[in-house]
């Protein structure tokens, strides 16, 4: 793994040893009355604390470094369009109309069990959506999954939810069939899940069982966005997400380096999230506020105010990252998107500054698909790269070099792990690796703490 050392100048040093640096890389829109009604209905779950293991979707696949880059970028680009589609659908439908378009997909999987007796399956973890769902028998149209399809008739704790139930009212799109709540979740790439809304007992890490969680029992599931798992666990801000249903004020995650995608990352919920702070590296905590977008209340928006490259605060209008009244623009933090995407004018400014400060010839081969790459000299052990600081409201987050520069010795390139976006900006998971990212939903803040995630 690459080692980094800070210097007093405007550069940090990227050690080009061994493998160097690598990259692999639904939101319901609900009236506030519906959100509060569901949360009040759910039982209090005080003292709940989970430590959950996350696996990267490409772990164990024996991929080369460039393959990880290309696969992660492909997923991230599709996800970017899904997220933008969700916001644009809300804008087009007007301020008081629900928009049944969601993010979906992601980069990390977790194992959990559903039912009594419990049946284990893997699910995509998604901070950009809410609904918990898995494929269920009888499957009229289902994608191939690595584990057996859940059979609700074999679970003694399974119960269908009625049309008048608050979880059903919280759905962005539902139908009533003999007082059974039927749902439809449609994703930006035309993938979808359709079935019945039910309540079930879920077991996490084979030891933590929670009863009465609302979830989607999908009987008609289409598209290729979910092939890595058997369903999805939403961690968004909406009432149907896992965090909301557990009634926990805090959750955090710690993503290991993409360089070692076979290492497991971690998700902490409830009391385990705050307790993990004591196990971090003790680096300086950077805390900023979370913004709310009434058009898409499930997304976690960050108040980005500026960017520094090297010693220069870039000349970017602060309004570039402003969340507009119509719900467009702004920056979300998203664990399911690989690269960071910046609004095009801001990305051009970042790209130009890096190009002027990295003293290497540019590589125009396009082999990686990234926008800015440099040719690595042979037999080089260290390359100076400019500092990168994201200025959030109340927090100046300086990233380590491996969180924004990707070196690939096999192709001889060093690349900036960012891209441009027409509108919405996304703070991706490459930039979040080896940081403990703590969401405090009561204070509506997010904190970044330097942490060796593989040592927690």
Is the C-alpha dihedral spanning 294, 296, 302, 304 positive or negative? negative
For residue 206 the two structure tokens come to: 């084979």
Nearest to residue 136, comparing CAs of 126, 124, 121, 125?
A: 121
Annotated active-site residue 334? The verdict is yes
- Find how far residue 382's CA is from the centre of its chain: 31
CA distances from 108 to 76, 152, 262, 317, 356 (A): 12, 26, 11, 34, 35
Annotated active-site residue 408? The verdict is no
Annotated catalytic residue: which of 126, 130, 166, 408? Answer: 126
Q: Tokens 């919280």 appear where?
A: 170
Q: Is the peptide bond before 138 cis (omega within 30 degrees of 0)?
A: yes
For residue 114 the two structure tokens come to: 């559903």
Is the C-alpha dihedral spanning 212, 30, 232, 253 positive or negative? negative
List, in sequence order, every beta strand (DSSP E) within 152-228.
159-160, 174-177, 180-187, 192-204, 208-222
For residue 95 the two structure tokens come to: 């301020």
How far is residue 455's CA from residue 274's CA, in Å, rounded to a whole number? 17
For residue 308 the two structure tokens come to: 């520094």
For residue 153 the two structure tokens come to: 């008739």
CA distances from 129 to 1, 99, 169, 302, 449 (A): 33, 13, 17, 17, 24
Annotated catalytic residue: which of 58, 334, 363, 408? Answer: 334
Q: Which three-class secondary structure state does DSSP give residue 401?
A: helix
Nearest to residue 308, comparing CAs of 357, 254, 363, 343?
A: 357
For residue 309 the two structure tokens come to: 């490259």
Q: Which three-class secondary structure state does DSSP give residue 278?
A: helix
Active site positions, annotated: 126, 334
């Amino acid at each position: 793994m690459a080692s980094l050392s800070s210097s007093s100048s405007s550069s940090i040093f990227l050690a080009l040893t061994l493998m160097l640096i690598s990259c692999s890389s639904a939101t319901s829109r609900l009236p506030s009355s519906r959100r509060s009604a569901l949360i009040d209905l759910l039982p209090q779950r005080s003292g709940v604390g989970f430590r959950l293991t996350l696996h990267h979707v490409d772990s164990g696949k024996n991929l080369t470094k460039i393959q990880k880059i290309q696969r992660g970028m492909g997923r991230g680009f599709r996800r970017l369009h899904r997220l933008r589609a969700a916001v644009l659908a809300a804008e087009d439908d007007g301020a008081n109309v629900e928009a049944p378009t969601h993010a979906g997909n992601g980069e990390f999987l977790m194992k959990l069990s559903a039912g009594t007796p419990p049946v284990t399956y893997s699910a995509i973890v998604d901070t950009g959506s809410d609904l918990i769902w898995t494929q269920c028998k009888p499957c009229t149209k289902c994608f191939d999954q690595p584990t057996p399809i859940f059979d609700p008739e074999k679970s003694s704790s399974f119960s269908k939810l009625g049309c008048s139930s608050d979880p059903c009212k919280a759905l962005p799109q539902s139908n009533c069939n003999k007082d059974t709540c039927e749902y439809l979740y449609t994703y930006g790439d035309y993938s979808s899940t359709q079935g019945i809304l039910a309540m079930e007992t879920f077991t996490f890490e084979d030891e933590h069982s929670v009863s009465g969680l609302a979830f989607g029992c999908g009987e008609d599931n289409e598209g290729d966005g979910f092939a890595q798992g058997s369903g999805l666990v939403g961690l968004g801000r909406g009432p149907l997400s896992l965090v909301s249903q557990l009634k926990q004020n805090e959750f955090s995650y710690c993503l290991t380096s993409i360089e070692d995608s076979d290492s497991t990352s971690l998700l902490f919920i409830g009391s385990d999230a705050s307790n993990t702070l004591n196990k971090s590296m003790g680096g300086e905590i950077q805390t900023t506020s979370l913004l709310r977008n009434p058009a898409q209340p499930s997304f976690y928006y960050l108040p980005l105010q500026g960017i520094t490259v090297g010693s220069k605060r870039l000349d970017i209008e602060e309004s570039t990252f402003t969340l507009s009244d119509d719900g467009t623009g702004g920056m979300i933090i998203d664990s399911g998107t690989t690269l960071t995407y910046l609004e095009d004018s801001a990305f051009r400014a970042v790209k130009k500054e890096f190009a002027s400060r990295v003293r290497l010839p540019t590589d125009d081969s396009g082999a990686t698909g990234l926008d800015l790459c440099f040719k690595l000299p042979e037999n080089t052990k260290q390359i100076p790269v400019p500092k990168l600081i994201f200025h959030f409201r109340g927090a100046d987050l300086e990233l380590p070099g491996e969180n924004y520069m990707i070196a690939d010795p096999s192709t001889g390139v060093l690349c900036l792990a960012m891209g441009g976006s027409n509108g919405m900006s996304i703070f991706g998971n490459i930039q979040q690796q080896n940081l403990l990212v703590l969401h405090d939903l009561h204070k509506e803040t997010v904190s970044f703490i330097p942490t060796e995630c593989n040592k927690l």
